[in-house]
Structure 1
């Protein structure tokens, strides 16, 4: 049985109209668009997620 993901607003989301939500996974993370939750989510492995966050922190997006 699969448990529900606990999504929260990403600290990188600038405002309510452009929100991305993040859920922690045992070995990575899941993200979804707040305004389009019914479309599902994307999952990333731990290495991919770390690389993504590292890129955001450096401002290379």
Structure 2
């Protein structure tokens, strides 16, 4: 297991198309990394982000759909 962390200080975040417009249930992801997909709660932008490998994120999205 790697102890390396992605630097998320200057990434571009995009809100999920499934997030509602009143500010609730908002998930943001970043496409700035090859092989990694950082995910965060847009209501807590300074809070933690979870970083998925691309294949794990693709599997997650597939299962959610």
Q: What is the TM-score with the length of structure 1 in the denominator?
A: 0.75
Give the gaps of 5 or more residues in structure 2: 1-6
Structure with the higher fraction of residues in helix conformation:
1
| SS of 1:53 mapped into structure 2 | helix
> What residue number does 1:45 align with?
53
Is it true that 1:22 corresponds to 2:29 in the alignment? yes
Runs of 4 or more, structure 1, over 4 Å off, are none
Is it true that 1:5 corresponds to 2:11 in the alignment? yes
Deviations along 1:8-51, whole A, 9 cap, x unmatched? 10123234211111101211311100111111211000110110
How many residues are aligned here? Answer: 56
